[in-house]
Amino acid sequence: MHELGITQNIVVIVSEHAKAKKVLRVVLEIGKLSAIMPDAVQFCFDICTQGTVLEGSTLEIIEIPGLARCRQCGTEIALDKPFGVCNCGSVHLDLITGEELKIKEIEIEEVCV
């Protein structure tokens, strides 16, 4: 399960950006064509955040649909796998979206002095 390693890296990156402040929420974008299972990341997140500034934080995952452009006719088509066939019959597609793995947002607790 490569999601465990991916989630561990996400926790490290977010922890570094939080600079020892408590993280309340993390928003990820995961493309449907990325071969990363959002449910597995969610499961791993709770385990990987234990004992870190992310412990108890909420993980929100936005799934980005697959979208490609046909090289032959320029039509954009939705994809649910990393390959497909355009209505014109061409299989030469350039992926536009769907392979993302991005930390989109981090919410950090404000500390009042």
SS3 99: coil
Looking at residue 27, what is its pLDDT? 98
Looking at residue 19, what is its pLDDT? 92
Average pLDDT along the chain: 94
Looking at residue 112, what is its pLDDT? 65
pTM for this predicted structure: 0.85
Q: What are the E-state strand segments in the chain?
A: 23-31, 58-64, 66-70, 76-79, 93-97, 101-108
User: Domain locations in the chain?
Assistant: 2-65+98-108
Q: 113 falls in which pLDDT band (50, 70, 90)?
A: low
For 2-65+98-108, the fitting CATH number among 3.10.150.10, 3.40.1440.60, 3.30.2320.50, 3.10.129.10 is: 3.30.2320.50
Binding residues for Zn(2+): 70, 73, 86, 88
Binding residues for Ni(2+): 2
Binding residues: 2, 70, 73, 86, 88
> What DSSP character marks residue 100?
-
Nearest-angstrom CA–CA distance, 85 and 39: 29
Nearest-angstrom CA–CA distance, 3 and 56: 19
Percent over 90 (pLDDT), the chain: 91
Nearest-angstrom CA–CA distance, 4 and 10: 10
Residue range 55-106, pLDDT digits in tens: 999 999 999 999 999 999 999 999 998 889 999 999 999 999 999 999 999 9
